[in-house]
Amino acid sequence: MATESDDKCRARELWVRVTSGAEGEGSSCSESTRDSWWRLIRQRYGEPSRHHHNLDHLNHMAELWAEYADHLSNPRAVALALFFQYLEYDPKSQDNEERCIEAFRRFAEEARIPTDSELYLSVTELIQLTKLHSTEEHKQEGMYGREDKHFFLDFDMCVLGSSPAEYKDYTERVRLEYSFVPDAVYKSLRSKIPNIFSTEPFRRIYEERAKSNIRDEIAELDT
């Protein structure tokens, strides 16, 4: 059963939409399955150790999905991948993506989404991309991506192009999640991305601001 806070939650609204069957595949998802998995999603993303990869982040992803849904060839797959992308999340773990895919497999079984369907394969491919957060379009100047995978990754990175104040708040929250990483290692990891965004609209709107934010962050780490 949804709570009052759920009623105001963009992520909850999107979850109901993409599990209602209105979009095509997986129309056999029952209300009990939908609600039980939403409770798990809310529980996981609401864990106290999640300072950034939490319900606020998931709500932001839902907002970006709604804004750019017309650019997506399989919006339902992208939406489901957003929910399962960080469902299982341990900053110290090397197999987060695999555990998230396994969680989606369990959901798909309950929702009667065939494992050989386009929807299932698309969702698992998108989740797996989270491991490297990179495509060929990220590696070359002047190249833009137009596929669902490019928008999926750009949604997740959008916070890097936020205002300086919002970005500082983001870095503080992420640093709490990665407090076990030494500053020198953390700094090197933050400065390795050649192009942060791969799609034309995200690179045009957010790229320069994101690079400026990261430069300022690295300079602060050096002090």
pLDDT tens digits for range 160-192: 999 999 999 999 999 999 999 988 887 777 666
pLDDT, position 105: 98
Treating both helix axes as pointing N-terminal to C-terminal, what angle do 31-45 and 55-68 enclose, rounded to 10 degrees? 120
Nearest to 72 by CA among 156, 8, 145, 171: 145
**61 and 13 in contact (C-beta within 8 Å)?**
no
Helix (H, G, I), strand (E, B) or coil at 72: coil
Global pTM reads 0.88
pLDDT, position 186: 78
Nearest to 68 by CA among 202, 172, 171: 202
Q: What's the mean per-residue pLDDT of the chain?
A: 89
pLDDT, position 100: 98
The percentage of residues in the chain with a pLDDT greater than 90, rounded to a whole number, is: 74
**177 and 91 in contact (C-beta within 8 Å)?**
yes
pLDDT, position 23: 45
pLDDT single digits (tens) 144-153: 999 999 999 9
pLDDT, position 175: 92
Sign of the dihedral defined by the CA atoms of residues 124, 127, 132, 134, in that order: positive
Q: How confident is the model at residue 6 (pLDDT cuts 50, 70, 90)?
A: low
pLDDT single digits (tens) 13-71: 999 999 986 444 545 689 999 999 999 999 999 999 999 999 999 999 999 999 999 99
**DSSP label at 179?**
T
Give Cα 93 to chain centroid, integer Å.
17
pLDDT, position 217: 86
Q: Which two tokens stand for residue 58?
A: 């998931």
Average pLDDT of the residues in 99-127: 97
pLDDT, position 2: 42
Q: Which two tokens stand for residue 62?
A: 């839902």
Q: How confident is the model at residue 8 (pLDDT cuts 50, 70, 90)?
A: low
